[in-house]
Amino acid sequence: MTTLLETRGLSKHFSGLRAVENVDFTLEAGEVRALIGPNGAGKTTFVGMLCGRIEPSSGTVTFDGRDITRMPAHRRIGMGMAYTFQITSIFPGLSVEENVALAARRAEPDPAAARREAHRALKRVGLANRIDQEAQDLSYGHQRLLEIAMGLAQAPRLLILDEPTQGLADSEIEAFKGLIRYLSESATILLIEHNMNVVMETAHKVTVLNFGEVLAEGTPAEIHDNEAVQAAYLGTG
């Protein structure tokens, strides 16, 4: 397999607080990787450094063999990284279609082609029947799906999903699992998720952060049976 994303010794300190400490991480092309850990484990900070929204204190980030440690976020997007926020980052006064078409313009400058790509992305996430609805009128769960469609419309090589099932109904979560399997056919996925059923059923491999460090890494079954993970996160130790 080909390594798409890699970090070596990645660290971030805030006024003496070690939010992330010396993380070595390798993500293979075509993989679905889940990143889990208790609140305050450093997941958001770690992903922020991957995306270029947080500058590391030390260490390196490499994407497709290129050192992007100091590269700004917009240039990483141009290289094929798309990141959906834990807090929705939609344009509330625009329609569903307009939100996704704007995102699509990053990869496809032709307006008509961008609109067609927007329609394809909305169909994938189950929002094709809401294209004329204002984004602010969507439920929170549907706003999360809209954000995923905005990521998809950029034709990403790496799609980073931050708590995508938050606010979704049980039936929508079941559909989301199928969506992840479908998306993994064309993109590498990094999934930050608290819903362990989603993690266990969709991820090829799981990385567990705790106190800013990698606590464990392995298949979903290995992580489920790991005593240190059970004690720190799964609550079964």
Q: What is the CATH number of the domain that holds 201?
A: 3.40.50.300
**Element housing 191 (H / E):** strand 188-192
* Helices of type H across the chain: 43-51, 73-79, 96-104, 111-125, 140-152, 170-183, 196-202, 220-224, 227-229
Where is pLDDT greater, at 200 or 109?
A: 200
Residue 161 to residue 175: CA distance in whole angstroms: 16
Q: Report pLDDT for 237.
A: 40
Instruction: Give 22-68 pLDDT, tens digit per residue.
Output: 999 999 999 999 999 998 899 999 999 999 999 999 999 999 999 99
Domain boundary among 120, 155, 190: 155
Interstrand relation of 3-14 and 188-192 (parallel, antiparallel or unpaired): unpaired
Q: pLDDT for 140-189, tens place per residue?
A: 888 888 999 998 888 899 999 988 888 888 888 998 899 899 889 889 99
**What's the half-sphere exposure (Cβ side, CA atoms, 13 Å) at 126?**
18
Sorting pLDDT into bands at 50, 70 and 90, what band is 85? low
Q: Are residues 64 and 76 in the same domain?
A: yes
Q: State whether 74 and 167 are in the same domain.
A: yes
Do both 134 and 226 map to the same domain? no
In a domain, 54, yes or no: yes
Number of domains in the chain: 2
126 lies in the same domain as 237: no
Query: Range of 189's domain?
Result: 1-80+158-237
Residue 37 is predicted with a pLDDT of: 92
Contacts of 63 (CB under 8 A, 6+ apart): 4, 5, 76, 79, 81, 158
Give the residue from 5, 50, 51, 8 showing the smallest Cα distance to 29. 5
* 138 lies in the same domain as 163: no
Residue 8: pLDDT band (50, 70, 90) is: very high
Which of 155, 178, 203 is at the close of a domain?
155
Q: Which residue, of 126, 155, 184, is where some domain finishes?
A: 155
The answer to whether residue 86 scores a pLDDT higher than 60 is no
Same domain, 124 and 187: no
